[in-house]
Amino acid sequence: MLFRQQHHHLTVFAPAKVNLFLKILGKRTDGFHELESVMVTLGLYDTLEFRDDPSGNLTLECRDTAGGLASAPTPRPPLVLSSGPDNLVLRAAVLLREYAKVNRGAAITLAKRIPLAAGLAGGSSDAAATLVGLNRLWNLGLSLNELHALAAKLGSDVNFFLSPTGAAICRGRGEQIEPIQLPRPLHLVVVKPPSGLSTALVFRHCQPTQVGLSAEEFLDALRKGRHPLGDWWHNTLQAPAMELNPDIRRVARAFSRQPVLGHLMSGSGTSYFGVCAHRRQAMSVAGRLRAERLGEVFVVGSRV
Ligand code: C5P
């Protein structure tokens, strides 16, 4: 998360994430799944601007990447970004205001670059940026622990974006964060097929697994620079997501023809990424994948 502060006005850059590793361990009695994941932030950002509003009103205006209003046709139909009270930005602002027992207002603008329903956690990152941004703008002085407690109420991925480093092992339902350092930035190509997937639907169709690598073993392999093409790229949600959405299988097949170090679906999909040896290779892989017209293609580095 990056900041630019002026008087009465704060800009926050909220990054996307990918899951380099995601293992679903079991189903819990509260309906969520116990998991173990390695998440890393990317150099792909939504931009949020917060202006103090002394009248006490909380308002949100969303713009898509093309600069149009969210209510106008977007380049990514049929997924439409809501700027109503269900948007996680407004939910985070209301939650923060209630918790801090203040009657402050803000005019918030959200410029959306992170694709929706993509497994890149754009909405969760926007929510975390709102908690941190308004805590600063309104001088509330809430501690990081207090922000974490609010983040967990908003969604399982929100806490990760409060991590002081750009990478973490996430446990529990995703909200328990162990910040980590990766040895070097990763060069990724991310493909977002035109269709999206509901996170809840993918989780409902997944089969938990106890076999295979742990997150620690995965990290050990990554730190030692081992890059076998095989099994250590794992996401338990990938098989059910592919059953639900054939676009993902097409993208996976396309990546398997590319000279990448590994490839995997992120989160509950539908985004899919390949890890490249260096940026030059990422650019050429992206060029070939663009020619296959599989969806939006991004060349991005991890931010660690
Ligand atoms: O926490 P979040 O709102 O992102 O989760 C969306 C949905 O994904 C949940 O309602 C739940 O159905 C599913 N989920 C899950 N186990 C998790 C995280 C999410 O089953 N650890």
> Quick one: pLDDT at residue 277?
92
Name the amino acid, one letter, at 157. D
200 lines ligand 1 (CB under 6 A): yes
Query: In sequence order, what are the residues at sequence separation of 6 or more whose Cβ sits closer than 8 angstroms to the Cβ of residue 245?
Result: 193, 195, 197, 269, 270
- CA–CA distance, 200 with 259 (Å, rounded to integer): 33
119 lines ligand 1 (CB under 6 A): no
Q: Per-residue pLDDT for 225 more than 70?
A: yes
The fraction of the chain above a pLDDT of 90, given in percent, is 81
Local structure of 289: helix, strand or coil: helix
The tokens for 252 are 């996976």
Mean per-residue pLDDT over the chain, rounded = 91
Mean pLDDT of 122-149: 97
In this structure, which residue's CA is closest to atom 13 in ligand 1? 200
pLDDT tens digits for range 64-93: 764 333 333 334 444 567 778 889 999 999
Out of 32, 173, 205, 266, mutate this one to test ligand 1's pocket (max ligand atoms within 8 Å of CB): namely 32
pLDDT tens digits for range 37-59: 999 999 999 999 999 999 999 99
CA dist 241 → 134, 203, 236, 269, 270 (Å): 35, 9, 9, 7, 8
156 lines ligand 1 (CB under 6 A): yes
Distance 203 CA to ligand 1 centre (A): 7
CB neighbours of residue 43 within 10 Å = 16
Angle of helix 88-100 relative to helix 144-154, nearest 10 degrees, comes to 130
Q: Per-residue pLDDT for 157 more than 90?
A: yes
pTM, full prediction = 0.93
Q: Which residue ranges make up each domain of the chain?
A: 2-179, 187-301
Distance 68 CA to ligand 1 centre (A): 30
Domain at 2-179, CATH from 3.40.50.2300, 3.30.230.10, 3.40.50.300, 3.30.2310.20:
3.30.230.10
**Which atom of ligand 1 sits closest to the CA of residue 31?**
20
Q: Residue 63: pLDDT band by 50, 70, 90 thresholds?
A: confident
Mean pLDDT of 108-121: 95
pLDDT tens digits for range 173-189: 999 999 999 988 999 99
> Quick one: pLDDT at residue 230?
62
Q: Which residues are catalytic?
A: 17, 157
Distance 281 CA to ligand 1 centre (A): 35
In this structure, which residue's CA is closest to atom 7 in ligand 1? 200
- Pairing between β-strand 187-192 and β-strand 296-303 as defined by DSSP bridges: antiparallel
123 lines ligand 1 (CB under 6 A): no
Which candidate, 214, 258, 255, 248, places its Cα nearest to that of 234? 214
22 lines ligand 1 (CB under 6 A): no
Q: Per-residue pLDDT for 94 more than 90?
A: yes
157 lines ligand 1 (CB under 6 A): yes
Mean pLDDT of 149-172: 97
Q: Do domains 2-179 and 187-301 have the same CATH topology?
A: no
Q: Per-residue pLDDT for 228 more than 70?
A: no
33 lines ligand 1 (CB under 6 A): yes
> Quick one: pLDDT at residue 70?
38
- CA–CA distance, 186 with 275 (Å, rounded to integer): 7
> Quick one: pLDDT at residue 238?
97
174 lines ligand 1 (CB under 6 A): yes
In this structure, which residue's CA is closest to atom 2 in ligand 1? 155
> Quick one: pLDDT at residue 80?
66
**Which atom of ligand 1 sits closest to the CA of residue 199?**
8
**Which atom of ligand 1 sits closest to the CA of residue 155?**
1
- CA–CA distance, 207 with 224 (Å, rounded to integer): 30
> Quick one: pLDDT at residue 231?
67
Q: Residue 114: pLDDT band by 50, 70, 90 thresholds?
A: very high
**Which atom of ligand 1 sits closest to the CA of residue 35?**
21
Is CATH 3.30.70.890 what the domain over 187-301 is classified as, yes or no? yes
